[in-house]
Amino acid sequence: MKVRVALGVVAAGALLAASARADTVQAPVTATAYAVRLNPPAGAYTGSCRVFPTDNAWNMNVRNAPLRARSNETIAYIQAHGADFLHPDFGENQTYGLPYVVVPQSQPLVPISYDAYGDESDPGPFPIPLNAPIEAGSDQHVLVVREGTCDLFELYRARRTTNGWVAESGARFDLTSNALRPLGWTSADAAGLPITPGLVRYEEVAAGHIDHAIRVTFDTTQRGFILPATHLASSTTNIDAPPMGLRLRLKASYDITRLTGQARVIAEAMQNYGLIVADNGSNWFFQGAPSPYWNDDELNQLKGVPGTAFEVVDTGPVLTG
């Protein structure tokens, strides 16, 4: 659920000197300085494409990363503003989850037009098939990975036209690069982040390990963002509210041996790679791609994991407008 909040002047020294105006050319911003470098894994793959370099924030193992100041207060704030247990937003019901497709490098380009956030969107054409699946529900995301060039195309509130797509916003991400969107820009997600890299996929769970952070939403967020997020989506100024891009980690002390099957693999990923706040939505809802092989009896074990089992990781300052 995207909420647009105008970004004012960002004050964080020379790092933030670049303007967020759409008519200003910016050098790419990277999250390298803010990523916690702790033995990066081999990384996740979609099709034949590695999903970002191994030192990308999404692929950073944060199991031993330092705690953020006021971690306890942030968790308490989250618990007081919505549901207080984990909730997998995918499962046996195939209408849940965020579908994506992988297309060949030769996939024809089609025109893309925007009717809401075009000033913060990447222009088309995009290689998005007219029969690409659209996420059920109001957000209507469309997610496409192109083989060969290894780039990712994502649309928000997408609708098919005769020969292309209309959307409220859209973004292209180079999966071989750590470059971020311009500061202040949204994407197909409120935080300005890519969606696909944060999805739980059945193939990785079946392999026994997830090597990346997981996308999560909260009811009430802060007016600010932490890189690799580039966009704020709230007017709330309480310092304990979670900003976009906040990294949370399931405590190492939480006993995941009580969990079995798919739930155990996902919980271990939450201890190693954690969650990244990507959008406004229901508290503790984390997202996955649809698959006929999900097992609700196993996934539902995660609904017994309380938010108090999590802590906040320090991955950089909150940037505000």
Residue pLDDT, tens place only, 230-243: 999 999 999 999 99
Task: Answer whether residue 17 shows pLDDT above 80.
Answer: no
Q: What residue has token string 């659920």?
A: 1
Query: Among residues 77, 142, 139, 135, which one has the least CA distance to residue 283?
Result: 77
| Each residue's pLDDT tens digit, 94-112 | 999 999 999 999 999 999 9
Query: Among residues 208, 206, 163, 169, which one has the least CA distance to residue 191?
Result: 169
Q: Are residues 223 and 206 in the same domain?
A: yes
Residue 20 domain-assigned?
no
Query: Among residues 231, 18, 22, 20, which one has the least CA distance to residue 118?
Result: 22
Residue 42's domain spans which residues? 29-95+195-313
Task: Answer whether residue 32 shows pLDDT above 60.
Answer: no
Residue 122 domain-assigned?
yes
Q: Are residues 298 and 157 in the same domain?
A: no
Task: Answer whether residue 227 shows pLDDT above 90.
Answer: yes
| Each residue's pLDDT tens digit, 21-31 | 222 233 344 33
pLDDT band with cut points at 50, 70 and 90 for residue 45:
confident
Q: Are residues 33 and 145 in the same domain?
A: no
Q: Are residues 111 and 84 in the same domain?
A: no
Residue 16 domain-assigned?
no
Task: Specify which residues 314 forms β-bridges with.
Answer: none
Q: Are residues 270 and 131 in the same domain?
A: no
Residue 34 domain-assigned?
yes
Q: Are residues 123 and 164 in the same domain?
A: yes
Q: Are residues 216 and 303 in the same domain?
A: yes
User: Per the structure, how many domains does the chain have?
Assistant: 2
Burial of 208 (0-12, 13-18, 19+ CB in 10 A): exposed
Q: Are residues 105 and 50 in the same domain?
A: no
